[in-house]
Structure 1
Amino acid sequence: MDYNLNILEKEGYIRRHREVSRGIELLAQSPVLGRWCQVPIIGQIAAGEPIPVPTPDTWDIAASSETLEVTEDLIRGRDGVYALKVKGSSMVDALINDGDIVLMQYVNAVENGEMAAVWLKAEKEATLKKVYSEPSRIRLQPANSQMQPMYVEPGNVEIQGRVIAVIRQLV
């Protein structure tokens, strides 16, 4: 631990006050300070049975009243980033729990096995699942051994974004 703190101090990120227990000060000239951005929280996403949400064309990211402040390195220069509150337990084996917040990047296609926000058009519901394209259907796979996958027609699925980060709620 002391080795890593010495490196941070040498690089100018922190100042240590050795006479005080846990005496570490983050320095103002540190390159990580001031590089924050606001991510809109636009609603909830089901991690379990799909839940009704506003249709994707009515999501108004710019008008979202609730935001989350994150460091730019978490976003890594991506465009179209938004946040959703997770409701349900279908992704617990992927370490996404009820109440967590997922940061999403808006995309309309994902690779097999990627976690995505999936809009089920006919049901007008959204769910958070791992997505797999199969020959004649799409498998929406929960990351919970106690739950079964959902199988849907390709024409009934609209990808609304991929998970790029998870913010854990500890309380």
Structure 2
Amino acid sequence: MLTKKQLELLSFINKRVQRDGVPPSFDEMKEALDLRSKSGIHRLITALEERGFIRRLAHRARAIEIVKLPDAMENSAGFTPQVINGDRPDQTPPQAQSVHATAIATLPIMGKIAAGVPIEALDDGSRDIGVPGQMLTSNDRHYALEVKGDSMIDAGINSGDVVVIRETMSAQNGDIVVAQIEGYEATLKRFHRNGDMIALEAANPAYETRMLPAGQVEVQGKLVGLIRTY
């Protein structure tokens, strides 16, 4: 037996998977269920997993296997269990392209970036990585960073991932940016400006938003892509 909220969340995830081929983000789940925080979504996800309706796949961001649905939902939806985000969808989305048909660019990995407590500023690049050319915009400079920490996991960014960054000194509210703090700390966070203050917001309820005077924060780039190896 599921509670009303558990049933609502399971239904929402199933509809999004059927429509898009991938599950919704925790932010989208929170908004759909009108919850105040993502911790409530974590509890609902855990409850659905404990009851055998879903299965979370380790080390894969936003990867959920829908194992079963309640009888009423299953009969109406024509449900077929499938693994999403990491499995091959039945149909290729119109925007998807074969890797072999996409030009590969080489970028320097400039060091590690903190997705957690800020660390010292970037190291010099010591190795390169190949990235799909479609991640990059012409006439702009790009570089890559290895993520260290778990503060951005709800944005699908795990420790050990490599993020692709477009160099820029400006950002819009909601952008995920490389921010340098007081000239020596570097961190990967979601950017929000409120007057003369900058909020650097984590995507993990275990971390508090950090509020800093605008003069102490320098945007050094904006997230444009992510590369994960298994």
Same fold (TM over 0.5): yes
1:74 aligns with 2:165: no
The one-letter code of the counterpart of 1:164 is V
Going from structure 1 to structure 2, the CA distance change for 1:169 and 1:154 (only over 3 Å counts) comes to same
Contact 2:121 2:180 in 1 (8 A): no
**Unpaired runs of 5+ in structure 2?**
1-88
1:134 aligns with 2:194: yes
User: 1:39 pairs with 103, 107, 129, which one?
Assistant: 107
Tell me which residue corresponds to 1:164.
224
Q: Deviations along 1:56-98, whole A, 9 cap, x unmatched?
A: xxx76xxx33000122122243521100000000000000000
Q: CA deviation at 1:120?
A: 0.4
Tell me which residue corresponds to 2:121.
53
Tell me which residue corresponds to 2:169.
108
Partner Cα distance (1:99, 1:69) in 2: 16
**Unpaired runs of 5+ in structure 1?**
5-12, 15-25
User: 1:98 pairs with 137, 155, 159, which one?
Assistant: 159
Q: Which runs of 4+ in 1 moved over 4 A?
A: 1-4
User: 1:121 pairs with 182, 200, 212, which one?
Assistant: 182
Q: CA deviation at 1:168?
A: 1.8
Q: Which has the higher contact order (CA 8 A, sep 6+)?
A: 1
SS in 1 for 2:130: strand
Contact 1:78 1:105 in 2 (8 A): no
Partner Cα distance (2:90, 2:204) in 1: 39
CA RMSD after TM alignment: 2.4
Q: Deviations along 1:84-137, whole A, 9 cap, x unmatched?
A: 000000000000000000000000010001000000025x10000001001231
Provide the aligned length of Structure 1 versus Structure 2: 138
User: TM-score, normalised on structure 2?
Assistant: 0.55
Q: Deviations along 1:15-66, whole A, 9 cap, x unmatched?
A: xxxxxxxxxxx9xxx7x26x22111100110000000124xxxx76xxx330
SS in 1 for 2:134: helix
Tell me which residue corresponds to 2:11.
none
Contact 1:48 1:89 in 2 (8 A): yes
Q: Percent identity?
A: 34
The one-letter code of the counterpart of 2:121 is V
User: TM-score, normalised on structure 1?
Assistant: 0.72
The one-letter code of the counterpart of 1:168 is R
Partner Cα distance (1:160, 1:104) in 2: 9
SS in 2 for 1:103: strand
Contact 1:131 1:138 in 2 (8 A): yes
Partner Cα distance (1:2, 1:98) in 2: 30
